[in-house]
């Protein structure tokens, strides 16, 4: 699917398997599971990001390498099972 110049307000939006071009998301719940999507010149305003599946695994890995840069993904400071021996 391709979404161009669309405005989303207060919706739950699943990014996977789509291309998003010049879209505006305001107060939306943004869900990424596979990471198989493309965002081009999109704007996110006061949205909540939910990562699941492969996308969550990549976020955990990024948190391990850059814990000071990604404080909102794991507010408790725990990157999850990938960081544990």
pLDDT tens, position by position, 20-68: 999 999 999 999 999 999 999 999 999 998 888 898 888 888 878 887 7
The pLDDT of residue 85 is: 39
Tokens standing for 45?
């305003």
Tokens standing for 2?
């391709």
Long-range contacts of 64-68 (CB under 8 A, 24+ apart): none
> Residue 84's pLDDT band (boundaries 50, 70, 90)?
very low
The pLDDT of residue 38 is: 98
Q: Is the pLDDT of residue 71 over 70?
A: no
pTM tops 0.85: no
Cβ-count burial 59-70 (b if 16+ within 10 Å, e if not): bbeebeeeeeee
């Amino acid at each position: 699917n391709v979404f161009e110049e669309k405005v989303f307000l207060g919706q739950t939006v699943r990014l996977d398997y789509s291309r998003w071009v010049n879209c505006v998301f305001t107060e939306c719940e943004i869900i990424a599971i596979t990471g198989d999507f493309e965002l081009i010149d999109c704007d996110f305003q006061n949205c909540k990001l939910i990562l699941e599946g492969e996308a969550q695994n990549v976020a955990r890995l990024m948190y391990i390498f850059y814990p000071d840069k990604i404080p909102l993904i794991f507010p408790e400071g725990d990157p999850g099972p990938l960081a544990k021996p």
